[in-house]
Amino acid sequence: MLKKIYKSLGVRQLRDRIQGDTPYALNTLPWHRQEVVQLGRSGFVASGSHNLISLRPLEVAVEEENPVTVKEASTGVFVLENAQLRVQVENGCITSLYDRREKREVIAEGGKANQFVIFDDKPLYWQAWDVEVYHLDTRKELSSGATTIAEDGPYRVSVVTETKISELSSIRTTISLLAAVGDEPSSVEVTADVDWHETMKFLKVEFPVDVRATEASYETQFGVVRRPTHYNTSWDMAKFEVCCHKFADLSEHAYGVSILNDSKYGFATVGHLMRLSLLRSPKAPDAHADMGSHTIRWSVFPHAGALGPATVRKAFELNNPLQVVMAKERYKSPVHLTGDAALVLDTVKRGEDDEDVSTSETLPRRKGRSVVLRIYDSLGGRARGAVETAWDIKRVCKTNLLEDELEEVKFQDGRFEIELRPFEVATYRLQL
């Protein structure tokens, strides 16, 4: 599938470079991105709005001679710093995360973020499905070895720590910080390589943050759910573990912290303690579930203001990193979404019942060709925007999720206006 996408965009992998090719960053998200891309020791800024983003030398985008640094401040204590964040790491834990722009400490006093903890995991009935609240009483902190510098490049620095879980299991954790580019907000990135061979244990990582709120927000497909951060009632206590996709957020009125992740879907927030669930080890119905090697990525993203589009976009970007490819010229997407930053263009696809692609033997086929766009409001408010396209469009219709037409939409001068209700998922058919 990736080869077909590359062919349609006219791009090649780095190893397939031919004469006249130029390196570009492949952006699969529908908004402007400006971030660091590193090729060997060279740093570049990828900057642009649509699929193929131009790369330019990083030096022109940063004012400081050393845009990101790492140093051993004292024995075993390392400080990673860029123009926006200062991170202090000791034995694999983040003991301080200072937001330089907002002049605010993110980690609660005396707290240790990125602290691995392990629990006994013995549910009453279904081992692989149930999690019982009493497992929280068996919490045990994992002690890590000494931290060392793994990377001290001009545009990216990182430290690495080994953590022994048991005689059978271990974790290698890399904490990284990239150079800050312009006004793009920075985050602390963590990669954990876990060798996991436990029995009925539950591995999590904790982040005690200096934020107070009665509810936390958890991203799910096409929206956000909010759950209490206290156990005031039995109903509240029953929400001790929450389903979560790309991010969880705890925000006050003017400040918050988001924990972004690329592959784990259980989260919990109690008071100011945020906790991401990483691995379980049930023995029924599959005795080998989760056993083996895992690479898990997450990111700590402090932000000014309440939960907003910055968190949504950073979470998407963590899950869809830029890929450096070779091409003779830039490719510009024929579809562009403008307007409220909370709007997300999630899907661009062919119409399911178009006569040239339909595989149904019972449903009627539609003459001609169409493209379907699916757009949603990600934050729960009224959102307005417009879709601009370079395609030759005959008509535009709003449809339901089954792509049955609901109403025709005014299309003029290559664009049409949209207005979505809170968390609305809207589907549009563009008839070519």
Render pLDDT for 319-338 as a digit per residue (tens, 0 to 9): 999 888 888 887 778 999 99
pLDDT at 155: 85
Residue 268 has pLDDT above 70, yes or no: yes
Confidence at 41, pLDDT banded by 50, 70, 90? low
Say what percent of the chain tops pLDDT 90: 78
Amino acid at position 7, single letter: K
Domains 68-319 and 335-431 share a fold: no
pLDDT at 56 over 70: no
At residue 247, the pLDDT reads: 98
pLDDT tens-digit map of 385-425: 999 999 999 999 999 999 999 999 999 999 999 999 999 99
User: What CATH number labels 335-431?
Assistant: 2.60.40.2220
Domain ranges of the chain: 2-62+323-327, 68-319, 335-431
The distance of Cα 227 from the centroid of its chain, to the nearest Å, equals 20
Instruction: List CB contacts of 170: < 8 A, sequence separation 6 or more.
Output: 162, 163, 164, 194, 195
* Helices vs. strands in the chain: H and E counts, helices first: 3, 33
What DSSP string describes 47-70?
Answer: EESSSEEEEEEGGGT--SSSSEEE
User: Is residue 347 predicted with pLDDT exceeding 80?
Assistant: yes
Smallest Cα–Cα separation from 69: which of 158, 167, 192? Answer: 158
Q: What is the pLDDT of residue 173?
A: 98
**pLDDT score, position 317:** 95
**pLDDT value of residue 325:** 85
133 in Cβ contact with 161 (< 8 Å): no
- Name which CATH class applies to 68-319: mainly beta
- The pLDDT, as a whole number, for residue 42 is 59
